[in-house]
Structure 1
C-alpha cells in the first residue's frame, strides 16, 4: 500500500503533499498523532536498508540530546525513531514499492514525477 508519513503541523510536508495530484491513493499517517510502530519503522528499513537514512540529524532534539557525540549505530537510530516523531526525516513517501525520504528538492522532484505520472 502507498503511504505518506508526515507531520500535519509541518508547512514543508503540507507544501509537498499539495503537489500530489491524487492523495486518495495514499494512506496518510500523521506521525505526531499516530506514533511510529516498530513494524512501520521496520517496513521503511526494508526499503532503505538503513535506519540512519530515515533519521533527521536536523531535529532540535538531536542537538539538545547531543546525539552527534553519541556516535549512534543502527540500533541507536532505530531506538530514537521509535522514541520521538521528530527524529524521522519527513516526509516519508512509499509509492509502488519505492521509498522517498526527506524533502530535498531532488528527492521531491523524483517522487512527484512517479506519483503524478
Structure 2
C-alpha cells in the first residue's frame, strides 16, 4: 500500500511531497482537511506505529489553546482528539508497503526517501 495522509494547505507537507516525488509515484493522497480520517484509518495508523501518542502533534495551535499541555492524556484521549480535530495528527503520515513514516523530522524524511529509492 502506498498512501499519504497530508494537509494540502501545509507548506511543510507540500515541500515533502515535492522533495520525495510522492505525487508522481502512484500514491493515494488523502488531504485530511477535506477528507476526514476515519476511526478505522486512525486505528490502522496506531497499529503500524504502536500508539496514538506517536501520531499526536503537540505543535498544533489548539494544543495550547485547549490547555492540553497541562493535562495528563491517555491513549483514548489522543485517539479522540485526533478524530475530532485534524490538526492534531502529526503529518504527513506515509505508508510505503509495510513501512510507516510519521512527521516531518529530517531523519524521518531521509528514511522515507531511502524507502522510495
TM-score past 0.5 threshold:
yes
1:18-44 C-alpha deviation (Å, 9 max, x unpaired): 012353421100000011110110010
Structure 2: which 5+ residue stretches go unaligned? none
- Aligned residue runs from structure 1 range 69-80, under 5 A: 69-80=70-81
CA distance in 2, matches of 1:66, 1:21: 37
Q: Structure 1 residue 29 and structure 2 residue 30: aligned?
A: yes
Which secondary structure state, in structure 1, belongs to the residue aligned with residue 54 of structure 2? Answer: helix
CA distance in 1, matches of 2:100, 2:21: 18
What RMSD over aligned residues (CA atoms) do the two structures have, in Å?
0.9
CA distance in 1, matches of 2:73, 2:38: 20
Q: Return closer, same or farther for 1:71/1:15 CA change in 2, 3 Å cut-off.
A: same
CA distance in 2, matches of 1:50, 1:73: 10
Q: Structure 1 residue 7 and structure 2 residue 7: aligned?
A: yes
TM (norm. structure 2) is 0.95
* Residue of structure 2 equivalent to 1:98: 99
CA distance in 1, matches of 2:21, 2:46: 27
Structure 1: which 5+ residue stretches go unaligned? none
CA distance in 2, matches of 1:52, 1:103: 16
1:69-115 C-alpha deviation (Å, 9 max, x unpaired): 12100000000010011000010001111110000000001101111
Q: Return closer, same or farther for 1:85/1:22 CA change in 2, 3 Å cut-off.
A: closer
Aligned length: 116
